[in-house]
Chain A
Amino acid sequence: MVDYVLSPLFNGLFMAMVVFLFTTGLTLIFGILRVLNFAHGGFFMIGAYVAFSVVRLVGGETSMLAYLAISTVAGIVVGLLGLVVERIIFRPLQKVDEAYSLIATYALLLITEGAVKAVWGVSFHSVATPDLLGGAVFAGDLFMPTYAIFIILVGFASYALLEWVLQHTDTGKLMKSVASDPWMAGMLGVNVPRFYTFIVVLGFFLAGIAGGLLLPNQTLSPNLASTFVIQAFGALVVGGMGNIRGTFLAAIMLCVIDSFGSLLFSEVPGLFFYIAMTAALLLRPQGLIAGARL
Chain B
Amino acid sequence: MTFDINRRELVKALGAFGGAAAIGSLAAPSRAQGGSIRLGLIAPLSGSQEIVGRYQLAGATIAVNQINQAGGILGRQVELVTRDDKANPAAGVAASKDLAGSGVNLMFGILSSGVALAVAPTLADDKSVLVVSAAAANELTHEQYTRNVFRSADHAYARQRALAKLVLTDFPDTLNWTAINPQTAIGASNWDSFVDGIAQYSQEAGKPAEITEALWSKFGATDYKNEISQLMRSKSEGLYCGVYGGDAVTMFGQAAAYGLTKKFKVIVDPGSEFIIANAMGKNTPPGLWSGFHWYHGAYEGHKINDDLYNAYVKETNDPHPAGYVGETHTSVLAYASAIQKAGSTETDAVIAALEDLEFDSCKGMRKIRKEDHQAICDLNFVQFGPDEGSDKGWKVTGHRIIKDEGVSEAPTPGVPIVFKNKKA
A146 touches B257 (CB 8 A): yes
A53 to chain B, nearest CB (A): 10
A221 touches B246 (CB 8 A): yes
* Number of cross-chain contacts by CB at 8 Å: 109
**What CA separation (Å) do A120 and B6 show in the bound complex?**
9
Number of interface residues of B (CB under 8 A): 42
Q: Please, which residues of chain B bring their CB within 8 A of the CB of A124?
A: 51, 245-246, 249, 275, 278-279
Residue among B48, B215, B254 with the highest chain A CB neighbour number at 10 A: B254
**What CA separation (Å) do A3 and B230 show in the bound complex?**
9
Chain A proximity mask over B208-223: 1 for CB below 8 Å, otherwise 0: 0000000111101111
Q: Who on chain B is nearest to A125 by CB? A: B279
Q: Of residues 216 to 274 in A, which have CB atoms within 8 Å of B's CB atoms?
A: 216-223, 227-228, 259, 262-263, 266-267, 269-270
CB-CB under 8 A for A219 and B246, given A11-B226, A124-B278, A128-B256? yes
Q: Answer whether residue B281 sits at the interface, using C-beta atoms and an 8 A cutoff.
A: yes
Q: Who on chain A is nearest to B232 by CB? A: A143
Residue of A136, A217, A219, A228 near B258 (CB, 8 A) is A136
**What CA separation (Å) do A120 and B259 show in the bound complex?**
30
**What CA separation (Å) do A123 and B217 show in the bound complex?**
23
B257 touches A11 (CB 8 A): no
A122 touches B51 (CB 8 A): yes
B56 to chain A, nearest CB (A): 13
Residue of A8, A129, A227, A269 near B257 (CB, 8 A) is A129
**What CA separation (Å) do A259 and B229 show in the bound complex?**
13
Q: Answer whether residue A291 sits at the interface, using C-beta atoms and an 8 A cutoff.
A: no
B interface, over-half SS: helix
Q: Please, which residues of chain A bring their CB within 8 A of the CB of B232?
A: 143
Q: Who on chain B is nearest to A147 by CB? A: B257
B278 touches A218 (CB 8 A): no
Q: Please, which residues of chain B bring their CB within 8 A of the CB of A223?
A: 48, 220, 246
Q: Who on chain B is nearest to A2 by CB? A: B229
**What CA separation (Å) do A217 and B221 show in the bound complex?**
12
Q: Answer whether residue A145 sits at the interface, using C-beta atoms and an 8 A cutoff.
A: yes
**What CA separation (Å) do A227 and B226 show in the bound complex?**
19
Q: Please, which residues of chain A bring their CB within 8 A of the CB of B215?
A: 266
Q: Answer whether residue A121 sits at the interface, using C-beta atoms and an 8 A cutoff.
A: yes
Q: Answer whether residue A284 sits at the interface, using C-beta atoms and an 8 A cutoff.
A: no
A interface, over-half SS: mixed
B222 touches A228 (CB 8 A): yes
CB-CB under 8 A for A227 and B222, given A123-B2, A135-B257, A136-B258? yes
A19 to chain B, nearest CB (A): 10
CB-CB under 8 A for A126 and B283, given A7-B226, A134-B256, A145-B258? yes
A148 touches B279 (CB 8 A): no
Q: Who on chain A is nearest to B5 by CB? A: A121
Q: Please, which residues of chain B bring their CB within 8 A of the CB of A222?
A: 48, 50
**What CA separation (Å) do A136 and B254 show in the bound complex?**
12
**What CA separation (Å) do A126 and B218 show in the bound complex?**
20
B19 to chain A, nearest CB (A): 19
**What CA separation (Å) do A3 and B246 show in the bound complex?**
27
Q: Please, which residues of chain B bring their CB within 8 A of the CB of A220?
A: 279
CB-CB under 8 A for A123 and B216, given A148-B225, A223-B246? no
Residue among A15, A126, A223 with the highest chain B CB neighbour number at 10 A: A126
Q: Please, which residues of chain B bring their CB within 8 A of the CB of A15?
A: 223
Residue among B7, B225, B233, B245 with the highest chain A CB neighbour number at 10 A: B225
Q: Of residues 25 to 53 in A, which have CB atoms within 8 Å of B's CB atoms?
A: none
Q: Of residues 114 to 132 in A, which have CB atoms within 8 Å of B's CB atoms?
A: 117-118, 120-126, 128-129
A269 touches B221 (CB 8 A): yes
Residue of B54, B216, B220, B393 near A267 (CB, 8 A) is B216
Residue among A122, A143, A146 with the highest chain B CB neighbour number at 10 A: A122
Q: Please, which residues of chain B bring their CB within 8 A of the CB of A285?
A: none
**What CA separation (Å) do A227 and B3 show in the bound complex?**
23
Q: Who on chain B is nearest to A14 by CB? A: B225
**What CA separation (Å) do A147 and B218 show in the bound complex?**
23
B253 touches A145 (CB 8 A): no
Q: Answer whether residue A186 sits at the interface, using C-beta atoms and an 8 A cutoff.
A: no
Residues of chain B at the chain A interface (Cβ within 8 Å):
2-7, 48, 50-51, 54, 215-218, 220-223, 225-226, 229, 232-233, 245-247, 249-250, 253-254, 256-259, 275, 278-283, 393
Residues of chain A at the chain B interface (Cβ within 8 Å):
3, 7-8, 11, 14-15, 18, 60, 117-118, 120-126, 128-129, 134-136, 143, 145-148, 216-223, 227-228, 259, 262-263, 266-267, 269-270
